[in-house]
DNA sequence: TCGACTATTTGTT
DNA sequence: AACAAATAGTCGA
């Protein structure tokens, strides 16, 4: 049974795009959308990425603290897209995630800026080499895109794989981080993080949640 | 070497 | 039971 969580919807604007952020009563971020062309699309996406059942409060009930968190999240993304390395100033609500998804997201969050790894590598680190497809599945529903850098996971043959926000955005994000992508959509081997190294890094890194 | 295609595999809905 | 942001393998240009 999914828990029912009271939630606020914050919508911010980055350039001409909208980004929706779902925030619970403990001021934790439940999920967020990628920058989208319309407010409605952004909100729908954020809702669909939340792994728990939600009930929504009206915007007018949104207290200043919730609004502050919303702004912090949008500023984080904005700063990120400018090529900066913002720090997390807010908490994530990971309730409702399966233990598998939790492990996957944790490993992915330990991939350093400027590197990529592959679905199969992540699968191996979380304990089942054959679960590469399930890893893709989990990443496709990453509740915190960009913040948890699922764009740093590509296919084992160094082609890009997929991205919820489209391959153009995946390219752009990697480029911002200094990862070269060829016109045909290949990542250079120099940026590739092998399983052993990824495993080491994920052990060393503090748990994301 | 590359693309097209197949069989196999896993966690989630 | 069906799906998905995969992979390793084969086969024929």
- The CATH number of the domain holding residue A172 is 1.10.10.10
Whether residue A105 sits in one domain with residue A35: no
A107-133 pLDDT, tens digit per residue, is 999 999 999 999 999 999 999 999 999
CA of A183 to C1' of B1 (A): 18
Name the residue range of residue A36's domain.
4-92
Residues of A labelled catalytic: 150
| β-strands A4-14, A53-56 pairing | parallel
Whether residue A176 sits in one domain with residue A104: yes
**pLDDT(A2) > 80:** no
The mean pLDDT of A178-184, rounded to a whole number, is 94
Whether residue A83 sits in one domain with residue A9: yes
- Of chain A, the end-to-end C-alpha distance in Å amounts to 21
Decide if A169 is inside a domain: yes
Whether residue A120 sits in one domain with residue A70: no
Last residue of a domain, one of A71, A92, A113: A92
Q: For residue A118, which nucleotide's C1' is closest to its Cα?
A: C6
Residues by CB within 7 A of strand C: list them: A 118-121, 132-137, 139-140, 142, 145, 150-151, 153, 155-157, 161-164
CA of A155 to C1' of B4 (A): 18
Average pLDDT over chain A, rounded to whole? 94
The pLDDT score that the predictor gives to residue A65 is 87
Q: For residue A145, which nucleotide's C1' is closest to its Cα?
A: C5
Whether residue A40 sits in one domain with residue A82: yes
């Amino acid at each position: 049974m999914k828990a029912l969580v009271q939630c606020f919807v914050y919508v911010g604007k980055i350039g001409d795009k909208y980004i929706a952020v779902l925030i619970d009563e403990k001021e934790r971020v439940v999920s967020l959308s990628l920058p989208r062309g319309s407010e409605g699309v952004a909100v729908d996406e954020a809702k669909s990425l939340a792994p728990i059942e939600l009930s929504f409060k009206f915007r007018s009930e949104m207290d200043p603290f919730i609004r502050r968190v919303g702004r912090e999240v949008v500023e984080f993304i904005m700063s990120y897209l400018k090529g900066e390395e913002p720090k997390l100033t807010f908490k994530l609500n990971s309730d409702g995630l399966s233990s598998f998804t939790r492990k996957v997201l944790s490993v992915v969050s330990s991939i350093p800026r400027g590197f990529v790894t592959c679905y199969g590598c992540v699968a191996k680190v979380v304990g089942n080499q054959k679960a590469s497809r399930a890893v893709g599945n989990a990443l496709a529903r990453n509740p915190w895109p960009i913040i948890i850098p699922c764009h740093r996971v590509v296919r084992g043959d160094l082609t890009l794989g997929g991205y919820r926000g489209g391959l153009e955005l995946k390219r752009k994000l990697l480029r911002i981080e200094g990862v070269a992508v060829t016109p045909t959509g290949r990542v250079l081997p120099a940026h590739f993080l092998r399983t052993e190294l990824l495993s080491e890094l994920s052990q060393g890194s503090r748990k994301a949640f």
